[in-house]
Amino acid sequence: MDTVVIVLETLVVVGGIYLGVRTGGVGLGLWGAVGVLVLVFVFREEPGSIPSDAILVILAVITAASAMQAAGGIDYLVVLAEKVIRSRPQAINFIAPLVTLLFCAGAGTGNIIFPLLPVIYEVSYERGIRPERPLSTSVAASGVALACSPVSAAMAAFIGLTSASPDALGLGQILLITLPAAIIGTLAAALLSTRWGKDLKDDPVYQERLANGLVKPPSSETAEARPTLPKQAKPAALVFFAGVLLVVVLGGFHGLLPSWTDADGKTTTLSLTTLLIMVMLAVALVVMYVGRVKPAAILDAPLTKSGLTAIVALLGIAWMANTFIAANEDTVIGGLTDIAKDAPWFLAVGLFLVAAMTTSQSASVNTMIPLGLSLGVGVPQLAAYLPAMGGVMTLPANGSQLAAVEIDRTGSTRIGKYVVNHSFIIPTLVMVAVSVVVAIGLGLVVG
């Protein structure tokens, strides 16, 4: 009977994720919440923990990023990225994904890729390069980037979950593992992409579009003139990244953080999650004044909408997963213990699959990292698995993937008829696999 109940509950979880992905947007979180409702009232399971820390981090970071966007700071960053990409157009297959990786990691959100996509398309097409190559690797890089972002919700969740472990790592140590690994993984995927797909002159889809006038020849494709940036755009961006740097420095040197001793003599140090929330909310206020941004403009910024979507999605999916795992802990943990002992890398596969199913890096961390800790896997090893969050690009359900397909007027960037045979799947698999392998090696050194 217990086996039947577990199977039925599993179907509820899988069904909630499937319907959420099909609905898209906040629908992912809403279907997750319905899954919790079914587990609690139909199967009488106790509700699992709500990922409140991750939600608060998303709220704080998105508030700061939205303030920067309202001040023109995002546009300023895009101009910088465009200069870098256009400076070496012949190397765009490598430069575009690297710039995307670093910008998304610095901003703590993959959404910064949206204004970069037209630039990547324009530069590659002007040089006669198949746009699919830099576009696909750049989109994949935006998925891996949050594994090496000091201000991403996924990173904050990881630090919060592992901070009590005897072998807990500081933020700087984690970045020493994930950032070089992600860079090497990105370069590996970019190298493969140089041979991916036919050249435009041999691509029948492009040639047909060209013949029908759906796309102009490369010589006539010119970059669109960008509006003049407000003078407060640069200071707003600098304030934001000064806040990011402050989090990295304080997170890397725990001696700089305040601590308190209770009546029992137990010392508690300020958590990095709390630090991140405080600093980013303070940054949002400074950006608001430096960038002359009205409070209402922050709420109207596009990133605010994206942040709310992420919060609802995380709330529903992670809550449902936590409820299921807590209710079936003996079965789930017991069934995975032997596998993890013999092949701990299986947790990386789990991170990848959960990220793929939920299209949320934070949800994958909040679901799989507690499982890894309960199995006795070391924190350095768990940190090495973080790039597997790039699995969010496995299914063509992300806005950046759809935007890249729409922007590429040559038709080289595509979503196949079999769902997973899209332009982004090979770069994602290569990038994740190489990044995780390199990170495991770095984890042995850093840990």
Kindly calculate the radius of gyration of the chain based on its CA atoms and give it in whole angstroms.
22
Q: Which distant-in-sequence residues (6+ apart) come within 8 Å of 153 by Cβ? A: 54, 55, 57, 58, 61, 108, 146, 310, 314, 361, 362
The pair of three-digit structure tokens given for residue 128, joined into one six-digit string: 């006669």
Specify the pLDDT at position 127: 82
d(CA 318, CA 322): 6
Bridge partners (DSSP) listed for residue 268: 260
Would you call 203 helix, strand, or coil by DSSP? coil
Say how many C-beta atoms besides its own lie within 10 A of residue 280's C-beta.
26
**What are residue 3's phi and psi, to 5 degrees?**
-65, -40
Q: Which distant-in-sequence residues (6+ apart) come within 8 Å of 255 by Cβ? A: none
| Residue tagged 């709330």 (tokens) | 315
Would you call 259 helix, strand, or coil by DSSP? strand
Helix (H) or strand (E) holding 268: strand 267-269
The pair of three-digit structure tokens given for residue 348, joined into one six-digit string: 């990386």
Indicate the burial class of 138 (C-beta count within 10 angstroms; 0-12, 13-18, 19 or more). buried
Specify the pLDDT at position 184: 97
Specify the pLDDT at position 95: 92
pLDDT under 70: residue ranges of the chain: 1, 21, 24-25, 219-227, 252, 254, 332-341, 397, 399, 417-419, 447
Could you give the angle at which helices 73-87 and 233-252 cross, rounded to 10 degrees? 90
